[in-house]
Amino acid sequence: MNSAEPRPKIVPCVQDVHRQPMAVMFVDLDHFMRICTDVAPETVFVLLGEFQRIVTDNVSNFKGKLNAYQGDGVLATFDYAAGQTDCATRTLRCAWRILEQINALNLNEAALGGDWLISASIGLQYGQVWSGMINTSKRYGPTLVGDAVNVAARLEQHAHALGTKIVVGDDLMQRARCEHAFGAFEISRFVNAGTLLIRGRHAPVGVWALRAEAAEFPLERTSSTTSINTALYCGNFPTSI
């Protein structure tokens, strides 16, 4: 912009801004860029369809809210709406169930050409989140901002380095410990992994990691595996991806 040109007028476009504590979950398929490069596009869409179905169903079952799909990534939140007082516990259980069902897709060895294992990484955090409707995003749902949102996204990105599939911020773990629904079995699945320095944040974040042995799920054939088999060998693809 030329310095002589008038500056554009900034028009407020945010509506209905709310702040409340909630749990935030980021889920991301592992190695998705390589999968897109090495695997047929039709198979990629089948995989995305199954991934989104698994995440959508479980977020709904655990009374969460889907905020956004970003290709192979999903952002979801869990709050205290409708009298729910266990949002942190529900988030942990939802993450566990998502991993369990994604792992079951590996029963179909031909799903990605035989050499790939389908997996996902998940980051979880709890804290104050601001939500608001921006004019340009009305059709996509509220925009979420806050430290918990940023940290959850960063924790998901650290999962591989920590050798785990679920990374939980200490704020969420401590909140879950205070909830009546949280049990010793959930605690035993995680180990204190110390602290992490998160880009863009001054103070380090305490983190918990899913134990390696806890991520070894028994495989059972499911309808998801059957649908991938059908799509690959019969040329039938899901109508909603």
Q: Give the alpha-carbon dihedral of 213, 219, 222, 225, to 10 degrees.
A: 100
Q: Which domain holds residue 177?
A: 20-215
Quote the pLDDT of residue 224. 44
pLDDT of residue 238: 33
pLDDT at residue 231, rounded to an integer: 37
**CA distances, 230 to each of 39, 47, 108, 127, 204 (Å):** 17, 12, 11, 42, 47
Query: How far apart, in whole angstroms, are the C-alpha atoms of residue 201 and residue 186?
Result: 28
pLDDT of residue 70: 79
Q: Is residue 237 part of a domain?
A: no
Domain presence at residue 149: yes
Assigned domain for 105 exists: yes
Does 98 fall in a domain? yes
Tell me how many degrees the CA angle 127-206-132 measures, rounded to the nearest 5: 20
Phi/psi at 121 (nearest 5 deg)?
Answer: -115, 145
Residue 165 covered by a domain:
yes
Q: What is the pLDDT of residue 5?
A: 63
Could you tell me if residue 112 is inside a domain?
Answer: yes
Ranges of residues in the chain whose predicted pLDDT is under 70 = 1-15, 107-116, 135-141, 182-185, 213-241
The answer for residues whose C-beta is within 8 angstroms of residue 202's C-beta and 6 or more apart is none
Q: Which residue matches tokens 């529900």? A: 90
pLDDT of residue 84: 79
Q: What is the pLDDT of residue 12?
A: 52
* Residue 13 located in a structural domain: no
Report d(CA 241, CA 230) in Å as an integer.
Answer: 16
Q: Quote the number of domains for the chain.
A: 1
CATH value at residue 55: 3.30.70.1230
Is residue 107 domain-resident?
Answer: yes
